[in-house]
A and B are shown apart, each in its own frame.
Chain A
């Protein structure tokens, strides 16, 4: 069961985030749910790179050659975090401007060209 846990957690985060987006009635809540969906990808990537009884891939003070986890997925996750943060900022700016124009943040009331 522990072998499946990381992947099931990732799947749950994906599912619950998508559920939140589908049933959302406030755009700020929707953006938060989008971040939850993104966390699922963090969990998958980091768990793929994990190794039992290994340390971080930083060879200070331990010497090079000590068992370490995979640094490549950690670099991928770093990129992922930057993407998530900046896209969230862009979405929030869109929400701010929309609220000023329409006075609401309900997706059902904010439909393009209607």
Chain B
């Protein structure tokens, strides 16, 4: 189809959909003042039932933990796919002089940049760790903290040089981190089966309300998710920053 024909088709379709959209919007429950039975049930029962104060983490890791398990493995799929696509036939050995690859700009970093990185890096790492550990108390959790830590790792590339970055980011460790996190999540879910409980049932001691280590099984699940997200995102960063070899010719 020519661009005009395509646009015409799209315009006609939108003309039909627009009034339908307006009718649906007019029939939606009143914004901000309709019943939320599911949310209210969670908000009222979880603090007493699981001794935690972050309801979103409770929903993520306990009440709807199976969703998070599926989503974790969806992340693993996507990262594995990205890794397979970008590593290609390059293989995974560290090239002997990664900083001296043809076409790679290798300008020395300025002192101010290096200093900023060395100050900010540990702080970002610490903050990320804080977010991960306080999943059950304050906003945050494995996902958020894992992403913060992995983006902190990028500071290594931005503020140090490529060699340091490449030395630190070993594909083997990151693969193990990601896969290991996912594996621990599944095993943590399967462990209650050995005690006659249901999959992912929270049978561990629940700790004190508003304590960092409250929530029982949620702590393990949260840590596993943090590992997997950290490993996954760091792998993605590594693969994108790493240069890949020329493709072998198509037949």
Contacts and interface: CB of A to CB of B under 8 A. Distances in A.
Q: Do chains A and B touch in the complex (CB under 8 A)?
A: yes
A82 B40 CA distance: 25
Interface of B: 3, 6-7, 10, 14, 21-22, 24-26, 28, 30-33, 36, 38-40, 42-44, 47-48, 53-56, 58-60, 64, 67-68, 71, 74-75, 77-79, 81-82, 85-86, 88, 137-139, 143, 210, 229, 232, 236, 239-240, 244, 246-247, 250
22 contacts: A6-B31, A7-B25, A15-B14, A22-B10, A51-B36, A52-B32, A57-B43, A58-B55, A60-B54, A64-B44, A68-B43, A68-B55, A69-B39, A71-B43, A71-B58, A74-B59, A75-B64, A82-B74, A87-B78, A89-B82, A89-B236, A93-B240
B247 A101 contact: yes
A40 to B, nearest CB: 11
Interface in A3-33: 3-8, 11, 15, 18-19, 22-23
A90 B55 contact: no
Interface size on A, as a range, is 35 or more
A4 B43 CA distance: 27
Contacts of B77: 86
Given A52-B33, A72-B64, A90-B81, 16 more contacts: A4-B26, A5-B31, A11-B25, A58-B55, A58-B138, A70-B36, A70-B38, A70-B39, A74-B56, A75-B59, A78-B56, A78-B143, A86-B75, A86-B77, A86-B82, A96-B240
A72 B36 CA distance: 10
A93 B239 contact: yes
Nearest to B43: A68
A12 to B, nearest CB: 9
Nearest to A53: B32
Interface in A67-97: 68-75, 78-79, 82-83, 86-87, 89-90, 92-94, 96-97
Given A22-B7, A47-B31, A52-B33, A59 B55 contact: yes
A100 interface: yes
Contacts of A71: 39, 42-43, 55-56, 58-59
A70 B79 CA distance: 31
B60 A89 contact: no
B74 A83 contact: yes
Contacts, number: 142
A67 to B, nearest CB: 9
Contacts of B143: 78, 82
A78 B74 contact: no
Contacts of A74: 56, 59
Nearest to A80: B71
Contacts of A4: 22, 25-26
Contact of A58 (B28, B31, B139): B139
Given A70-B39, A72-B39, A86 B56 contact: no
A3 B59 contact: no
Interface in A31-58: 47, 49-52, 56-58
Contacts of A5: 31
Contacts of B56: 57-58, 71, 74-75, 78
Contacts of B247: 97, 100-101
